[in-house]
Structure 1
Amino acid sequence: MTSTTALDDAAARALDDPAAAISSLPWLEASLADDAAAGRFAAWGRSTVIDENVGEAVIPRPLFDELHERAGLEATWPVGNAGLLHVYGYLLSTTPTPYGLKRERWLSGELERACGLEVGALLPWAGTETLLARATAVASALLARADAVTEVAEGRTARIALGTPAPGGTAALAYAVDGRIVTIFPVADPAALRAGLGAPRLRWNAA
Protein backbone atom coordinates (compact mmCIF):
# COMPACT_ATOMS: atom_id res chain seq x y z
CA MET A 1 0.00 0.00 0.00
CA THR A 2 1.19 3.50 -0.83
CA SER A 3 -0.03 6.86 0.33
CA THR A 4 0.20 10.44 -0.83
CA THR A 5 2.75 10.92 1.96
CA ALA A 6 4.98 8.32 0.32
CA LEU A 7 4.58 10.11 -3.01
CA ASP A 8 5.45 13.43 -1.36
CA ASP A 9 8.55 11.90 0.21
CA ALA A 10 9.61 10.39 -3.12
CA ALA A 11 8.99 13.68 -4.94
CA ALA A 12 11.18 15.55 -2.45
CA ARG A 13 13.92 12.94 -2.77
CA ALA A 14 13.73 13.11 -6.58
CA LEU A 15 15.22 16.61 -6.54
CA ASP A 16 18.61 15.23 -5.48
CA ASP A 17 18.44 11.46 -5.98
CA PRO A 18 15.78 10.41 -8.51
CA ALA A 19 16.99 6.81 -8.60
CA ALA A 20 16.46 6.46 -4.85
CA ALA A 21 13.09 8.21 -5.16
CA ILE A 22 11.82 5.68 -7.68
CA SER A 23 13.28 2.76 -5.75
CA SER A 24 11.46 3.95 -2.63
CA LEU A 25 8.20 3.06 -4.41
CA PRO A 26 8.55 -0.64 -5.32
CA TRP A 27 5.33 -0.67 -7.37
CA LEU A 28 6.64 2.23 -9.50
CA GLU A 29 10.00 0.59 -10.04
CA ALA A 30 8.30 -2.66 -11.05
CA SER A 31 5.78 -0.88 -13.30
CA LEU A 32 8.48 0.94 -15.24
CA ALA A 33 10.35 -2.30 -15.85
CA ASP A 34 7.20 -4.19 -16.84
CA ASP A 35 5.98 -1.48 -19.21
CA ALA A 36 9.40 -1.20 -20.82
CA ALA A 37 9.64 -4.94 -21.35
CA ALA A 38 6.14 -5.05 -22.85
CA GLY A 39 6.74 -2.08 -25.17
CA ARG A 40 3.73 -0.20 -23.80
CA PHE A 41 5.29 3.25 -24.11
CA ALA A 42 5.09 2.95 -27.91
CA ALA A 43 1.34 3.67 -27.79
CA TRP A 44 2.07 7.15 -26.46
CA GLY A 45 3.32 10.23 -28.29
CA ARG A 46 5.57 13.09 -27.23
CA SER A 47 5.03 15.70 -24.56
CA THR A 48 6.91 18.57 -23.01
CA VAL A 49 7.28 18.83 -19.25
CA ILE A 50 6.93 22.61 -19.54
CA ASP A 51 3.29 23.01 -18.59
CA GLU A 52 1.34 25.39 -20.82
CA ASN A 53 -0.59 26.79 -17.85
CA VAL A 54 2.29 27.60 -15.53
CA GLY A 55 5.16 28.00 -17.98
CA GLU A 56 7.59 25.88 -16.00
CA ALA A 57 8.67 22.26 -15.73
CA VAL A 58 6.37 20.09 -13.64
CA ILE A 59 9.15 17.63 -12.77
CA PRO A 60 12.89 18.29 -12.35
CA ARG A 61 15.32 17.34 -15.09
CA PRO A 62 17.13 14.64 -13.06
CA LEU A 63 13.81 12.83 -12.57
CA PHE A 64 12.95 13.26 -16.27
CA ASP A 65 16.26 11.64 -17.21
CA GLU A 66 15.97 8.82 -14.66
CA LEU A 67 12.43 7.93 -15.74
CA HIS A 68 13.43 7.69 -19.40
CA GLU A 69 16.49 5.63 -18.56
CA ARG A 70 14.36 3.19 -16.54
CA ALA A 71 11.88 2.99 -19.41
CA GLY A 72 14.62 2.40 -21.97
CA LEU A 73 13.60 5.48 -23.95
CA GLU A 74 15.62 8.19 -25.68
CA ALA A 75 14.56 11.72 -24.81
CA THR A 76 15.97 15.22 -24.93
CA TRP A 77 14.82 17.62 -22.22
CA PRO A 78 12.17 18.96 -22.04
CA VAL A 79 10.39 16.66 -24.52
CA GLY A 80 9.82 13.02 -23.67
CA ASN A 81 7.38 10.15 -23.85
CA ALA A 82 3.88 11.35 -22.98
CA GLY A 83 2.85 8.13 -21.25
CA LEU A 84 5.94 8.09 -19.08
CA LEU A 85 5.51 11.74 -18.13
CA HIS A 86 1.73 12.06 -17.80
CA VAL A 87 1.26 8.74 -16.03
CA TYR A 88 4.35 8.23 -13.87
CA GLY A 89 6.14 11.58 -13.92
CA TYR A 90 3.02 13.43 -12.81
CA LEU A 91 2.77 11.24 -9.74
CA LEU A 92 5.99 12.79 -8.46
CA SER A 93 5.16 16.36 -9.49
CA THR A 94 4.68 18.96 -6.76
CA THR A 95 4.24 21.94 -9.11
CA PRO A 96 0.90 23.69 -8.48
CA THR A 97 -1.32 24.30 -11.51
CA PRO A 98 -4.70 26.04 -11.87
CA TYR A 99 -6.25 22.56 -11.72
CA GLY A 100 -4.33 21.30 -8.73
CA LEU A 101 -1.44 18.86 -8.71
CA LYS A 102 -0.98 16.76 -11.84
CA ARG A 103 -1.14 13.56 -9.82
CA GLU A 104 -4.72 14.16 -8.73
CA ARG A 105 -6.13 12.64 -11.92
CA TRP A 106 -4.81 9.29 -10.71
CA LEU A 107 -5.59 9.71 -7.01
CA SER A 108 -8.84 11.66 -6.59
CA GLY A 109 -11.21 9.13 -8.15
CA GLU A 110 -12.70 11.80 -10.42
CA LEU A 111 -11.27 10.25 -13.59
CA GLU A 112 -12.47 6.82 -12.53
CA ARG A 113 -15.99 8.11 -12.02
CA ALA A 114 -15.93 9.94 -15.33
CA CYS A 115 -14.91 6.71 -17.06
CA GLY A 116 -17.56 4.66 -15.26
CA LEU A 117 -14.92 2.57 -13.51
CA GLU A 118 -14.97 1.07 -10.04
CA VAL A 119 -13.45 3.03 -7.18
CA GLY A 120 -9.70 2.49 -7.12
CA ALA A 121 -9.52 1.22 -10.71
CA LEU A 122 -6.86 3.81 -11.59
CA LEU A 123 -4.95 3.93 -8.34
CA PRO A 124 -1.29 3.65 -9.36
CA TRP A 125 -0.44 0.81 -7.00
CA ALA A 126 -3.70 -1.17 -7.34
CA GLY A 127 -4.62 -4.17 -9.44
CA THR A 128 -2.58 -6.67 -11.40
CA GLU A 129 -1.82 -4.40 -14.37
CA THR A 130 0.44 -1.37 -14.38
CA LEU A 131 -1.11 2.07 -14.30
CA LEU A 132 0.20 2.71 -17.81
CA ALA A 133 -1.56 -0.42 -19.10
CA ARG A 134 -4.83 0.64 -17.51
CA ALA A 135 -4.51 4.25 -18.69
CA THR A 136 -3.74 3.10 -22.22
CA ALA A 137 -6.85 0.91 -22.31
CA VAL A 138 -9.11 3.68 -21.04
CA ALA A 139 -7.68 6.34 -23.36
CA SER A 140 -7.84 4.03 -26.38
CA ALA A 141 -11.52 3.29 -25.71
CA LEU A 142 -12.30 7.00 -25.52
CA LEU A 143 -10.40 7.80 -28.70
CA ALA A 144 -12.36 5.12 -30.56
CA ARG A 145 -15.64 6.98 -29.95
CA ALA A 146 -17.51 7.97 -33.10
CA ASP A 147 -18.05 11.50 -31.77
CA ALA A 148 -14.35 12.24 -31.20
CA VAL A 149 -13.13 15.40 -32.93
CA THR A 150 -10.31 15.27 -35.45
CA GLU A 151 -8.30 18.38 -36.27
CA VAL A 152 -5.13 19.15 -38.21
CA ALA A 153 -2.57 21.45 -36.61
CA GLU A 154 0.98 22.16 -37.75
CA GLY A 155 0.63 19.41 -40.34
CA ARG A 156 -0.24 16.83 -37.69
CA THR A 157 -3.53 15.06 -37.07
CA ALA A 158 -4.96 15.21 -33.56
CA ARG A 159 -8.00 13.57 -32.00
CA ILE A 160 -9.96 14.90 -29.03
CA ALA A 161 -12.41 12.53 -27.35
CA LEU A 162 -14.80 13.30 -24.52
CA GLY A 163 -16.67 10.53 -22.77
CA THR A 164 -20.25 10.56 -21.58
CA PRO A 165 -20.47 12.85 -18.55
CA ALA A 166 -20.83 11.18 -15.16
CA PRO A 167 -23.83 12.10 -12.94
CA GLY A 168 -21.87 15.04 -11.53
CA GLY A 169 -21.18 16.39 -15.02
CA THR A 170 -17.49 15.50 -15.23
CA ALA A 171 -16.32 13.79 -18.42
CA ALA A 172 -13.09 12.01 -19.27
CA LEU A 173 -10.97 13.51 -22.04
CA ALA A 174 -8.39 11.67 -24.12
CA TYR A 175 -6.11 13.35 -26.62
CA ALA A 176 -3.90 11.82 -29.29
CA VAL A 177 -1.58 13.19 -31.97
CA ASP A 178 -0.67 11.21 -35.09
CA GLY A 179 -2.37 8.15 -33.67
CA ARG A 180 -0.49 8.14 -30.38
CA ILE A 181 -1.97 9.00 -26.99
CA VAL A 182 -0.80 12.21 -25.36
CA THR A 183 -2.96 12.53 -22.25
CA ILE A 184 -6.14 11.63 -20.40
CA PHE A 185 -7.76 13.64 -17.62
CA PRO A 186 -11.17 14.58 -16.16
CA VAL A 187 -12.99 17.70 -17.37
CA ALA A 188 -15.44 19.33 -14.96
CA ASP A 189 -17.30 21.27 -17.68
CA PRO A 190 -17.03 19.45 -21.01
CA ALA A 191 -19.44 21.82 -22.77
CA ALA A 192 -17.28 24.81 -21.89
CA LEU A 193 -14.17 22.97 -23.04
CA ARG A 194 -15.74 22.22 -26.42
CA ALA A 195 -16.86 25.81 -26.82
CA GLY A 196 -13.41 27.13 -25.96
CA LEU A 197 -11.29 24.96 -28.25
CA GLY A 198 -10.89 27.66 -30.88
CA ALA A 199 -8.59 27.17 -33.84
CA PRO A 200 -6.76 23.86 -34.22
CA ARG A 201 -3.40 23.68 -32.42
CA LEU A 202 -1.32 21.17 -30.53
CA ARG A 203 -2.87 20.97 -27.08
CA TRP A 204 -2.23 19.77 -23.53
CA ASN A 205 1.55 19.87 -23.72
CA ALA A 206 1.79 17.72 -26.86
CA ALA A 207 5.09 18.07 -28.71
Structure 2
Amino acid sequence: MQTLDAAAHLAVSDPASAIDSLPWLARALADDRAAGCFAAWGRSTVIDENVGAAVVPRGVFDELHERAGLAAEWPIGNAGVLHVYGYLLSTTPTPYGLKRDRWLSGELERACRLETGALLPWAPPKTLLSRATAAASTLLARADAVTEEFGGRTARIALGAPLPDGSAALAYAVDGRIVTMFPVADPGGVRAGLGAPRLRWNAV
Protein backbone atom coordinates (compact mmCIF):
# COMPACT_ATOMS: atom_id res chain seq x y z
CA MET A 1 0.00 0.00 0.00
CA GLN A 2 2.84 2.40 0.79
CA THR A 3 4.34 1.65 -2.61
CA LEU A 4 1.05 2.54 -4.29
CA ASP A 5 0.79 5.77 -2.29
CA ALA A 6 4.33 6.72 -3.31
CA ALA A 7 3.58 5.95 -6.95
CA ALA A 8 0.40 8.06 -6.87
CA HIS A 9 2.30 11.07 -5.57
CA LEU A 10 5.15 10.53 -8.05
CA ALA A 11 2.62 10.34 -10.88
CA VAL A 12 1.82 14.02 -10.49
CA SER A 13 5.29 14.96 -11.79
CA ASP A 14 6.51 11.79 -13.53
CA PRO A 15 3.69 9.44 -14.56
CA ALA A 16 5.91 7.11 -16.60
CA SER A 17 8.26 6.48 -13.68
CA ALA A 18 5.30 6.08 -11.34
CA ILE A 19 3.79 3.32 -13.47
CA ASP A 20 7.17 1.66 -13.94
CA SER A 21 7.61 1.63 -10.15
CA LEU A 22 4.62 -0.74 -10.01
CA PRO A 23 5.65 -3.69 -12.21
CA TRP A 24 2.24 -5.35 -11.86
CA LEU A 25 0.55 -2.19 -13.21
CA ALA A 26 2.89 -1.79 -16.17
CA ARG A 27 2.47 -5.47 -16.98
CA ALA A 28 -1.32 -5.32 -16.64
CA LEU A 29 -1.59 -2.42 -19.06
CA ALA A 30 0.54 -4.28 -21.60
CA ASP A 31 -1.37 -7.53 -21.15
CA ASP A 32 -4.79 -5.86 -21.41
CA ARG A 33 -3.67 -3.99 -24.50
CA ALA A 34 -2.49 -7.19 -26.17
CA ALA A 35 -5.72 -8.99 -25.27
CA GLY A 36 -8.00 -6.15 -26.38
CA CYS A 37 -9.61 -5.99 -22.93
CA PHE A 38 -10.26 -2.25 -23.00
CA ALA A 39 -12.84 -2.72 -25.77
CA ALA A 40 -15.38 -3.96 -23.19
CA TRP A 41 -15.37 -0.53 -21.53
CA GLY A 42 -17.09 2.65 -22.69
CA ARG A 43 -16.14 6.30 -22.40
CA SER A 44 -15.83 8.44 -19.31
CA THR A 45 -14.73 11.92 -18.35
CA VAL A 46 -11.90 12.25 -15.88
CA ILE A 47 -13.76 15.23 -14.35
CA ASP A 48 -15.61 13.77 -11.39
CA GLU A 49 -19.22 14.87 -11.04
CA ASN A 50 -18.98 15.03 -7.24
CA VAL A 51 -15.92 17.26 -6.94
CA GLY A 52 -15.97 19.07 -10.30
CA ALA A 53 -12.27 18.42 -10.84
CA ALA A 54 -10.03 15.91 -12.57
CA VAL A 55 -9.32 12.84 -10.44
CA VAL A 56 -5.98 12.23 -12.19
CA PRO A 57 -3.59 14.77 -13.74
CA ARG A 58 -3.34 15.24 -17.51
CA GLY A 59 0.05 13.50 -17.60
CA VAL A 60 -1.33 10.36 -15.94
CA PHE A 61 -4.34 10.39 -18.30
CA ASP A 62 -2.07 10.56 -21.34
CA GLU A 63 0.47 8.00 -20.13
CA LEU A 64 -2.15 5.41 -19.22
CA HIS A 65 -3.93 5.72 -22.56
CA GLU A 66 -0.66 5.54 -24.47
CA ARG A 67 0.30 2.33 -22.69
CA ALA A 68 -3.19 0.96 -23.31
CA GLY A 69 -2.78 1.70 -27.02
CA LEU A 70 -5.82 3.96 -27.08
CA ALA A 71 -6.37 7.40 -28.55
CA ALA A 72 -8.02 9.76 -26.07
CA GLU A 73 -8.55 13.49 -25.93
CA TRP A 74 -8.54 15.05 -22.48
CA PRO A 75 -10.73 14.93 -20.46
CA ILE A 76 -12.62 12.04 -22.11
CA GLY A 77 -11.05 8.61 -22.21
CA ASN A 78 -11.62 4.90 -21.85
CA ALA A 79 -13.59 4.07 -18.71
CA GLY A 80 -11.52 0.97 -18.04
CA VAL A 81 -8.29 2.94 -18.21
CA LEU A 82 -9.66 5.64 -15.93
CA HIS A 83 -11.95 3.86 -13.47
CA VAL A 84 -9.72 0.84 -13.00
CA TYR A 85 -6.09 1.89 -13.43
CA GLY A 86 -6.38 5.67 -13.27
CA TYR A 87 -8.18 5.56 -9.95
CA LEU A 88 -5.27 3.64 -8.43
CA LEU A 89 -3.07 6.68 -9.04
CA SER A 90 -5.62 9.29 -7.93
CA THR A 91 -4.96 11.41 -4.86
CA THR A 92 -8.09 13.56 -5.26
CA PRO A 93 -10.38 13.32 -2.22
CA THR A 94 -14.09 12.78 -2.85
CA PRO A 95 -17.12 12.59 -0.50
CA TYR A 96 -16.68 8.80 -0.63
CA GLY A 97 -12.94 8.72 -0.01
CA LEU A 98 -10.22 8.07 -2.55
CA LYS A 99 -11.32 6.52 -5.83
CA ARG A 100 -8.85 3.65 -5.40
CA ASP A 101 -10.62 2.48 -2.22
CA ARG A 102 -13.10 0.40 -4.22
CA TRP A 103 -10.23 -1.84 -5.33
CA LEU A 104 -8.38 -1.91 -2.01
CA SER A 105 -10.90 -1.92 0.84
CA GLY A 106 -12.48 -5.31 0.16
CA GLU A 107 -16.01 -3.83 0.17
CA LEU A 108 -16.57 -4.30 -3.55
CA GLU A 109 -15.32 -7.87 -3.70
CA ARG A 110 -17.49 -8.79 -0.70
CA ALA A 111 -20.50 -7.15 -2.35
CA CYS A 112 -19.78 -9.17 -5.49
CA ARG A 113 -19.59 -12.36 -3.39
CA LEU A 114 -15.96 -12.88 -4.43
CA GLU A 115 -13.14 -14.38 -2.40
CA THR A 116 -11.07 -12.11 -0.18
CA GLY A 117 -8.45 -10.34 -2.28
CA ALA A 118 -10.17 -11.16 -5.58
CA LEU A 119 -10.11 -7.53 -6.70
CA LEU A 120 -6.77 -6.46 -5.29
CA PRO A 121 -4.91 -4.77 -8.17
CA TRP A 122 -1.80 -6.94 -7.92
CA ALA A 123 -3.52 -10.29 -7.30
CA PRO A 124 -2.37 -12.97 -9.78
CA PRO A 125 -2.84 -14.41 -12.27
CA LYS A 126 -5.27 -12.19 -14.23
CA THR A 127 -5.18 -8.42 -14.55
CA LEU A 128 -7.42 -6.23 -12.43
CA LEU A 129 -9.23 -5.05 -15.56
CA SER A 130 -10.07 -8.60 -16.64
CA ARG A 131 -11.31 -9.46 -13.14
CA ALA A 132 -13.34 -6.27 -12.91
CA THR A 133 -14.81 -6.90 -16.36
CA ALA A 134 -15.95 -10.37 -15.32
CA ALA A 135 -17.48 -9.13 -12.06
CA ALA A 136 -19.28 -6.21 -13.73
CA SER A 137 -20.56 -8.41 -16.55
CA THR A 138 -22.05 -10.83 -14.03
CA LEU A 139 -23.90 -7.98 -12.32
CA LEU A 140 -25.10 -6.48 -15.60
CA ALA A 141 -26.56 -9.83 -16.64
CA ARG A 142 -28.97 -9.81 -13.68
CA ALA A 143 -32.63 -10.02 -14.65
CA ASP A 144 -33.51 -7.17 -12.28
CA ALA A 145 -31.06 -4.68 -13.77
CA VAL A 146 -32.63 -1.36 -14.80
CA THR A 147 -32.51 -0.38 -18.47
CA GLU A 148 -32.71 3.29 -19.41
CA GLU A 149 -33.20 4.63 -22.95
CA PHE A 150 -32.66 8.26 -23.85
CA GLY A 151 -31.37 10.23 -26.84
CA GLY A 152 -30.58 7.11 -28.80
CA ARG A 153 -28.49 5.71 -25.93
CA THR A 154 -29.18 2.65 -23.79
CA ALA A 155 -27.84 2.36 -20.27
CA ARG A 156 -28.02 -0.47 -17.78
CA ILE A 157 -27.80 -0.15 -14.00
CA ALA A 158 -27.33 -3.36 -12.05
CA LEU A 159 -27.33 -3.85 -8.29
CA GLY A 160 -26.32 -7.11 -6.70
CA ALA A 161 -28.14 -8.83 -3.85
CA PRO A 162 -27.57 -6.87 -0.62
CA LEU A 163 -25.20 -8.13 2.03
CA PRO A 164 -26.44 -8.48 5.63
CA ASP A 165 -25.37 -4.88 6.29
CA GLY A 166 -27.53 -3.70 3.38
CA SER A 167 -24.70 -2.75 1.04
CA ALA A 168 -24.47 -4.03 -2.53
CA ALA A 169 -22.32 -3.85 -5.65
CA LEU A 170 -23.36 -1.59 -8.51
CA ALA A 171 -22.32 -1.89 -12.16
CA TYR A 172 -23.16 0.57 -14.91
CA ALA A 173 -22.91 0.22 -18.68
CA VAL A 174 -23.82 2.44 -21.63
CA ASP A 175 -24.52 1.08 -25.11
CA GLY A 176 -23.33 -2.35 -24.02
CA ARG A 177 -19.98 -1.20 -22.64
CA ILE A 178 -19.03 -1.07 -18.97
CA VAL A 179 -18.49 2.36 -17.45
CA THR A 180 -17.97 1.71 -13.75
CA MET A 181 -18.60 -0.45 -10.73
CA PHE A 182 -18.47 0.32 -7.02
CA PRO A 183 -20.06 -0.63 -3.70
CA VAL A 184 -23.11 1.27 -2.44
CA ALA A 185 -24.30 1.45 1.15
CA ASP A 186 -27.98 1.96 0.29
CA PRO A 187 -29.02 0.22 -2.94
CA GLY A 188 -32.69 1.00 -2.30
CA GLY A 189 -31.84 4.67 -2.10
CA VAL A 190 -29.94 4.44 -5.38
CA ARG A 191 -32.94 2.93 -7.13
CA ALA A 192 -35.33 5.47 -5.65
CA GLY A 193 -33.11 8.38 -6.61
CA LEU A 194 -32.55 7.51 -10.26
CA GLY A 195 -35.11 9.96 -11.63
CA ALA A 196 -35.20 10.68 -15.37
CA PRO A 197 -32.91 8.61 -17.62
CA ARG A 198 -29.54 10.27 -18.27
CA LEU A 199 -25.85 9.51 -18.41
CA ARG A 200 -24.54 8.78 -14.93
CA TRP A 201 -21.33 8.27 -12.99
CA ASN A 202 -19.10 10.28 -15.33
CA ALA A 203 -20.15 8.43 -18.49
CA VAL A 204 -20.13 10.33 -21.77
- What TM-score, normalized to structure 1? 0.97
Match of 1:155 among 152, 155, 160: 152
Native 8 Å contact 1:94 1:101 kept in 2: yes
**Matched-pair contact (CA < 8 Å) for 1:15–1:63:** yes
Tell me the percent identity: 78
Q: How many residues align?
A: 204
1:57-68 mapped onto 2 (5 Å cutoff):
57-68=54-65
Q: Determine whether 1:167 maps to 2:164.
A: yes
Match runs of 1:58-207 below 5 Å: 58-207=55-204
Poorly superposed stretches of 4+, deviation over 4 Å: none
SS of aligned partner of 2:194? coil
- SS of the residue 1:6 aligns to: helix
After superposition, the C-alpha distances for 1:120-172 in whole angstroms (9 at most, x for unaligned) are: 01000012000000000000010011110000133210000000011221100
Equivalent AA in structure 2 for residue 172 of structure 1: A
**Paired letter, 1:169:** G
Unaligned runs of 5+ in 1: none
- 3-state SS, counterpart of residue 96 of structure 1: coil
Distance in 2 (alpha carbons) for counterparts of 1:102 and 1:154: 29
The counterpart of 1:44, out of the listed 41, 45, 55, is: 41
- Distance, in Å, in 1 between the alignment partners of 2:165 and 2:131 is 23
Alignment RMSD: 0.6
Question: Structure 2: which 5+ runs fail to align?
Answer: none
Secondary structure of the corresponding residue to residue 95 of structure 1:
coil
Match of 2:32 in 1: 35
Paired with 2:122 and 2:157, the residues of 1 have a C-alpha distance of 28
CA distance in 1, matches of 2:63, 2:202: 20
Q: Distance in 2 between matches of 1:71 and 1:168?
A: 37
Q: Secondary structure at the match of 1:62?
A: helix
